[in-house]
Amino acid sequence: MNNLETASSKPCQYYRYSNRESVVTEWDLVCDNVAKKSNIQAVLAFGKFIGGLLFGSISDIYGRKFAFNLAALIYMFSGPSAALIDSYVLFLFARFLIGVAGSGLYETSYTILTELTSGKTRTLLCLLMNMSYPIGYILTSIIAYYIRPWRKLLLVLSLPIFGLLIQCWFLPESPKWLLSQGRKKQALMTMAKLVPSVVNTDIDNNDKDNVQIKMTKKSNGKCMEFLSAYTSLFSTLDLSAKTVISLFCGLSCGLSYYVIALNGDNITADRYVYVALSGIFEGVSYVFTVPLLIYVGRKKAVSCLFFLSGILQLILFAIPQEKVNILLCVTLVARFFVSALFSTIVLFISELYPTIIRNTGIGMLLTFSQIGSIIAPYIVDILGAKAWYIPSTVCGALSVFVSSLILMLPETRKTVLPNTLEEMKNINSVKLSNCFKF
């Protein structure tokens, strides 16, 4: 110790491990390579980012079912591949494809469910669909506890992916999308399978909006059609405001969700217990949102959830790191509200857009949520190493800010979903006076 100041230093070369059961020990993701550990989570999030961009337009142009089937096929290929690949670079590529497919599956199936239902049924079924996430979260921690080698773990977790073949075969196309494309006969046939009484329904064949949309798509070509799906999100001042607010919502939601999910080691909690408890709290939060959305309304629910989650994350700054149990409790309650946000924000935002760009709008929301999840592992691993409270403080401040933006949006509860941009003119727009409408 007396010679410490004058001693020469050696670069970190830690390579002795008690076991070889993780990607960290597989590729020595320590010392100077610690950022490569963050890359594994970040590349998955980047895949979801790209998937949100691509499948939003693919779904609006080629149909919900086509987009779902394409994402499912990518998932079935990339999931098992990640468990079998020896190369770190190829492993990252497989993780990227998993992210692309996961984003495409989620947003497409959510849109189909939204467009096939209405009222309380839409709220209940969309939240029921989200319940699969915390169930998987809890099962992952249990399976990971008993299957420690990471390759075996990924392989076991990949097997349920092939159950998507059932959905690929039986999933119906969205009748609202078929109508928006002018394919009214097919829309009627699809609805007749779901609701037999619709056979006697007379569909108006003089929808000028739909005819104009179809003619425009033919003249512009698929490439311009792909781009126009995104430019339509900013085609009016009102749509631009809704889109910008939804992007902030996605960024804040994704950042908070993944910072809390990945911050367990900085809170010094047992990672298996932390993941399992996070899944339980997430599942309970989805049940909590059902009466909240039905009786309170979308806008008030989303704004309050953002505010409460932000305040709780800011409170973590004042709690000493030695108080592990208190930190864990406050973090899990914050996780409760952030998880509730994820199950409500997609439903709320989907109801703000017309059918012809609804999936693109959801895709943009999920894309920006993945920007948050891309940043999250670096904030946790790098900034969290400097001070454990920095990740939660950043997320808390952003959530409180976004909660105020939500108040400017119109309420969508008990409203009819618009089909075209023309119908958007008859719907409440974004304005400051909405902050005082509850």
Give pLDDT tens digits for 127-179.
Answer: 778 778 778 878 888 888 888 888 888 899 888 889 888 888 888 887 877 87
Residues 171-193 as b or e (16 or more Cβ within 10 Å = b): bebbbbbbbbbbbbeebbbbbee
Give the whole-angstrom CA distance, residue 358 versus residue 61.
11
CB of 63 within 8 A of CB of 355? no
- The first and second tokens of residue 219, run together, are 């003249």
Q: How many CA atoms lie within 13 A of 156 on its CB side?
A: 16
Q: Residue 28 has which token pair?
A: 């020595």
Half-sphere exposure of 231 (CA within 13 A, CB side): 6
Cα atoms in the Cβ-side hemisphere of radius 13 Å centred on 161: 22
Give me 108's structure tokens: 């497409």
Half-sphere exposure (CA, 13 Å, Cβ side) for 136?
A: 11
| Beta-carbon-side half-sphere exposure of residue 438 (alpha carbons within 13 Å) | 7
Q: Any idea how long the chain is?
A: 438
Do 230 and 57 meet the contact criterion of CB atoms below 8 Å apart? yes
Say if CB 61 and CB 42 are below 8 A apart.
no
* pLDDT tens over the chain, length 438 residues: 677 677 777 777 666 766 667 777 777 777 777 677 778 878 888 888 888 778 877 887 788 888 899 999 999 999 899 888 888 889 999 999 999 998 888 888 878 887 777 767 777 777 778 778 778 878 888 888 888 888 888 899 888 889 888 888 888 887 877 877 777 887 777 777 766 665 555 555 444 444 444 444 454 555 666 677 677 788 888 888 888 998 998 888 888 888 877 766 555 556 777 777 777 887 788 788 777 777 787 888 888 889 998 898 888 777 776 777 787 788 888 888 888 887 788 888 888 888 778 877 877 887 788 788 778 877 877 777 777 778 888 888 899 999 988 888 887 777 777 777 777 766 677 777 766 665
- Which pLDDT does position 73 carry in this prediction? 93
Pull the structure tokens for residue 240.
């631009």
pTM: 0.65
Please report the sign of the dihedral spanned by the C-alpha atoms of residue 28, residue 33, residue 34, residue 39.
Answer: negative
Give all strands (DSSP E) within 24-158, no chain letters.
none
Are 373 and 252 a contacting pair, CB within 8 Å? no
pLDDT at 60: 77
pLDDT for res 208: 46
Question: Looking only at Cα atoms, what is the longest distance across the chain?
Answer: 93
Helices then strands, counting H and E runs in the chain, come out as 18, 0
Alpha carbon distances (Å) from 75 to 34, 97, 98, 346: 28, 7, 6, 22
Contact 417, 347 (CB under 8 A): no
Q: What confidence score (pLDDT) does residue 44 get?
A: 87
Please give the radius of gyration of the chain, using alpha carbons only, rounded to the nearest integer.
Answer: 23
Distance CA 396, CA 256 (A): 8
pLDDT at 196: 62
The dihedrals phi and psi of 436, each to the nearest 5 degrees, come to -105, 5
Rounded Cα distance between 110 and 116, Å, is: 10
Of 166, 210, 206, 172, the closest CA to residue 191 belongs to 172
**For residues 352 and 361, is the Cβ–Cβ distance under 8 A?**
yes
Contacts of 181 (CB under 8 A, 6+ apart): 210, 213, 214
Q: Tokens 């895949």 belong to which residue? A: 47
- pLDDT, position 55: 83
Tell me which residue of 4, 90, 99, 5 sits closest to 43, measured CA to CA.
99
Vertex 125 angle, CA 119 and 128, to 5° = 145
Measured CA to CA, the distance from residue 395 to residue 105 in angstroms comes to: 27
C-alpha 438/C-alpha 430 separation (Å) is 14
DSSP conformation letters of 185-230: HHHHHHHHHH-GGGGG----S--HHHHHHHHHHHHHHHHHHHHHHH
145 is written with which tokens?
A: 């506890």
